[in-house]
């Protein structure tokens, strides 16, 4: 397979993932969680699904679903996604909210927020530098 084919297939895959996320946003949490479980397997655990799946897992009400995992598993999912996409600021927001509101761990939430703010400052400096370059 050549590089162009790989790029085209990645773009198609990203669009399919976006369509899946949009579809599940209209479902109940329990139905969506089941669909995610099947879709994650189908997509070989596409990391693009991590953030919305972690968020969704917090709202399941069916004991046959939520008894299959622990809150620590969601925390580890957030941590792995931060490691994978450490400049995606939405992850820091969701992970910090989860640590504070669900785990009642303000210390960990503060750590996540501080790391996110530092990443934001780096990104902001890069954008400001690019803006200056574009204006000259």
Residue showing tokens 């399941």: 60
**Total domain count, the chain:** 2
Contact assessment for residue 99 and residue 108, using Cβ atoms and an 8 Å cutoff: yes
- Domain extent for 53: 1-69
62 with 75, same domain: the answer is no
Name the DSSP class of 2. -
60 with 84, same domain: the answer is no
pLDDT tens digit string along 57-106? Answer: 999 899 999 999 999 999 999 999 999 998 899 999 999 999 999 999 99
pLDDT tens digit string along 16-54? Answer: 999 999 999 999 999 999 999 999 999 999 988 999 999
């Amino acid at each position: 397979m050549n590089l162009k084919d790989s790029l085209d297939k990645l773009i198609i895959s990203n669009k399919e993932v976006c369509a899946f996320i949009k579809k599940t946003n209209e479902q109940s949490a329990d139905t969506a969680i089941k669909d995610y479980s099947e879709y994650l397997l189908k997509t070989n655990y596409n990391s693009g699904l991590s953030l919305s799946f972690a968020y969704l897992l917090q709202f399941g009400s069916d004991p046959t679903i939520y008894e299959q995992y622990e809150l620590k598993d969601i925390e580890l999912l957030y941590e792995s996604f931060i490691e994978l996409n450490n400049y995606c600021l939405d992850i820091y927001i969701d992970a910090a909210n989860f640590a504070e509101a669900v785990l009642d761990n303000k210390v960990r939430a503060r750590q996540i927020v501080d790391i996110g703010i530092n990443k934001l400052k780096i990104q902001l400096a890069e954008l400001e530098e690019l803006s200056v370059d574009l204006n000259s």
